Homo-oligomer: A and B are copies of this chain.
């Protein structure tokens, strides 16, 4: 299966798989779509989808142009002392808003989730499966508590960056970490 050189048609195949993936995720959501179904719609062998992208969550990230890699996100969250995980998570997300390359797509994603039931349908299982369930298993924290932590982070993004309500919109990263970090830590410590 390993393809090293560039073959003519390889880019079209990749784009064809991504187009099929967007259709399948839109129709079935992250939970319902399968590599097999995406391959069938693209008219390729499922092994080729794995070859180009790896796992289903990587296909999802590529098809939806997501501004983060969930595997890297989970690794960053878990890498460090557990008693500072709240602070680490808040800093990680605040950082996403400082870089224009992640800020714009992150804002677009938040807006689409809120305004489009189709995007919400695509995202709902992905967020849980590719990020929260992995952190839940690694830290032995109930998934409900992690969805609560995720809700605080999503609400923070809404109030600070979408609604831009003061004084939260202009608070420094350190102030926000001091305020929200202990809450995320509380959700994780129980």
Contact = CB atoms under 8 A, between A and B. Distances in A.
A interface, by DSSP: helix, strand, loop or mixed?
A: helix
A167 B133 CA distance: 11
Contact of A163 (B120, B167, B175, B180): B120
Interface residues of A, number: 43
Contacts of A143: 167
A84 B117 CA distance: 35
Nearest to A117: B162
A63 B61 CA distance: 40
A44 interface: no
Interface stretch (A12-20, A50-58, A148-156): A148-156
B165 A144 contact: no
Interface of A: 110-115, 120, 123-125, 127-128, 132, 143-145, 147-148, 150-156, 158-160, 162-168, 171, 175, 179-180, 182-183, 186-187
